[in-house]
Structure 1
């Protein structure tokens, strides 16, 4: 196998660093650390596990509100508590050395200058290891925490997001890489010809600049985007460098992969300047029967009222009072929140004729991402197939129980992928861009139009 063949087969691997796991009842499992959300050691140890396994990044999800539910219902749901991602990323950057850290930040309830400054700070301080998961605040309850009871429309949120990203990118290009000459003899701290104020005036923002932070080791943080609605797909095709997607089967994943690469090409981009990462929840066992037993044990921990509440949230439609053994109603109103996830869930329910009980058990296991049940060898085979058949460039691992699920994946599946040349055996660079094979953009370049093997 040549080096180029190995590079073509090598996949991206990230891990969701959630203290309560992605599975809605994972925190109840005997192996789970139930108070992990309050313990920094949990996050540090999990990041070390991911880094030791040579994963590309850990992923910090976020929402800016408690779920919209009664206190009694919230008392059953572990997502009521979570650290602010930028604060947590800053701490993780100190206790790790090479792994990337992707943080979720909304464009709806932030300002470009403020966020660009924070992300540039962490990217500089970490040596270039930060990615930005750009979201548009799909949870309507967030509006009530930011001076407005009305959530902006889907179209308006995405239009604001596109301008927000443009402003942030311009701010990250406020300085040439060699602007700070630090000439003690002449008394010149920076070359004034290499400072570039932004002077942006747009529909949503007015930002003068320049950013009062030097250009970062990556040029700018890696842009990650996860929307799969039509506005989300167009936004990803224009500006994302990694798109995170939920796909249930190989054919759907292949269709998504070819479509998003086509859209990127229509925006003048090279195909490999946009990486596709599919969510994957691994349920592992020493044998397939053991893995199935582990899955049944997890599913038995799901309280029906929480399953229905989470399903209602994702559908944007209340199904909590409907018969558990009945199906979805014929008509589900379009939501102003999770449009792409709503479509995926409804299509799955119709296609497989699932009852509400079966549907919430499928959805809250991994929030609509693919769940694979089996041995480490079976999981690795599944991942290799998707990678080799152009269904994805890699996977976002969503462990069902934390921290044991991440540890088991790192100890058993990663070596299987390394054995066949589908995953690295050492880091080849020091930045998140180098891990992902993304070029460092020149100042003023909107997005990389070429790929590189590695940039340090």
Structure 2
């Protein structure tokens, strides 16, 4: 394949505790206690850094998913217990030196000041490697853990998220980069003209500021976003610097890529300011036959109760209990959860004429993301194709089983990408922005002396 792009593939690793296949925890090589095993995460972070990955990514939820179906939940390792990301990542910062550290945090059940403070602190601790994945929460059970009876409506969540993101960004600019004189002889610790009060009053938030953490080393931690609905795409175009997306086909990925990048202009942003990184669920084998056998082994471990429950949740908590699992997916009601993911799965089911059983087997390992199983060369072919055809700037790798799946990717796929000149051999810089090729943001207050919001 001829090479026309001059940039290189960006790589993240999406760390689900035992791996992304829902039955992966039952695999002989899986760490079944991974959700609460800190040494497991240390090993994964250091392996990804050995592979020169740009970043590692942790999802999050503040409620059990599927607690109303305890029979299926009791058979799923990744949904019951896992470590809180903003507590885990500072610890991983101490045992790594280059890899970016991205945590998910919701704008629906957080406050801007507290969240801005935590991510600014992570950026300082890590030397400029923090990233924030902004979500609006698609787990409706979270509402009942935050003194609410009902999850906010989809449109309301995104309206709140827009204001939330703007407030957080301006809080990170509370101090100029050179505000701190620390002059012992004069007794002046900081230049008061380089401190900015936000004084924000909006529809959802009232925040005076300033933040009591210095401006982060990156200016702002890298902004990540993962929504695929219309509202999610607009939010990505406005704020995101990295977009994680679930795309099951290269055609759909190309459309998403072009759409999000074209929306950036409305917010005075260039297309290159946004890196699109679809999820890729991978199983690596020494041969295509071995990879297929590895995947088949995982599918054999899949409990039908678990498969159906997972699919129901991913479709927006719809009830499929009365449906024929060997028949087509029925018409579904609109969801107040993840609208983009529901649309993606329905489209795949209709396009490929999948039964409910087919669909839950498909989502068991990839949850709507693209799945590729094969040799290192075959997987590299797929990554290269998506990259060169402008369906992606990089990929969020989702190993089916951990730690084995990440080891396989680092030991076999990464060298193949490097051989083709598609991926770095050494890190370009020390910060996540440096390695992603993202510019450092100018302070909101830089050209507005004395300005408040």
CA contact (8 A) 1:16 1:397 kept: yes
Q: Which residue in 1 is equivalent to 2:313?
A: 313
Equivalent residue pairs, number = 441
Q: Which residue in 2 is equivalent to 1:454?
A: none
| Runs (5+) with no aligned partner, structure 1 | 447-456
Distance 1:131 1:59 in 2: 9
Q: Which residue in 2 is equivalent to 1:141?
A: 141
CA contact (8 A) 2:180 2:190 kept: yes
Q: Which residue in 2 is equivalent to 1:452?
A: none
CA contact (8 A) 1:62 1:85 kept: yes
Q: Return the TM-score normalized by structure 2.
A: 0.96
The range that moved more, 320-329 or 183-192, is: 320-329
CA contact (8 A) 1:47 1:58 kept: yes
The alpha carbon displacement at 1:320 in A equals 3.0
Distance 1:236 1:213 in 2: 26
Distance 1:336 1:322 in 2: 21
CA contact (8 A) 1:22 1:399 kept: yes
Q: Which residue in 2 is equivalent to 1:18?
A: 16
Q: Which residue in 2 is equivalent to 1:451?
A: none
Q: Which residue in 2 is equivalent to 1:52?
A: 50
Q: Which residue in 1 is equivalent to 2:201?
A: 201
Q: Secondary structure at the match of 2:109?
A: coil
2:442 paired with 1:442:
yes
Distance 2:140 2:265 in 1: 33
Q: Which residue in 1 is equivalent to 2:329?
A: 328
Q: How does 1:319-358 map to 2 (within 5 A)?
A: 319-329=320-330, 331-358=331-358
Question: What does the per-residue CA deviation read over 1:187-234, in whole Å, with 9 as the maximum and x for residues that have no partner?
Answer: 100000000010000000000000011111100110000000000000
CA contact (8 A) 1:225 1:242 kept: yes
| Runs (5+) with no aligned partner, structure 2 | 447-453
Q: Return the TM-score normalized by structure 1.
A: 0.95
CA contact (8 A) 1:240 1:274 kept: yes
CA contact (8 A) 2:279 2:395 kept: yes
Q: Which residue in 1 is equivalent to 2:451?
A: none
The alpha carbon displacement at 1:122 in A equals 0.8
The alpha carbon displacement at 1:70 in A equals 3.0
2:70 paired with 1:71:
yes
CA contact (8 A) 2:196 2:445 kept: no
Q: Secondary structure at the match of 2:181?
A: coil
2:137 paired with 1:130:
no
Question: What does the per-residue CA deviation read over 1:254-301, in whole Å, with 9 as the maximum and x for residues that have no partner?
Answer: 111111110112322111001100100111111111111111111111
Q: Which residue in 1 is equivalent to 2:449?
A: none
Q: Which residue in 2 is equivalent to 1:453?
A: none
Q: Which residue in 2 is equivalent to 1:98?
A: 98
The alpha carbon displacement at 1:6 in A equals 9.4
The range that moved more, 5-14 or 286-295, is: 5-14
For residue 35 of structure 1, the aligned residue among 18, 33, 36 is 33
CA root-mean-square deviation: 1.3
CA contact (8 A) 2:47 2:407 kept: yes
CA contact (8 A) 1:60 1:103 kept: yes
Q: How does 1:180-195 map to 2 (within 5 A)?
A: 180-195=180-195
Q: Which residue in 2 is equivalent to 1:449?
A: none
Change (3 A) 1:407 1:124: same
State the 4+ residue runs in structure 1 displaced beyond 4 angstroms.
none
Question: What does the per-residue CA deviation read over 1:99-139, in whole Å, with 9 as the maximum and x for residues that have no partner?
Answer: 00000000000000000001101101110000000000111
The alpha carbon displacement at 1:8 in A equals 2.1
Q: How does 1:168-179 map to 2 (within 5 A)?
A: 168-179=168-179
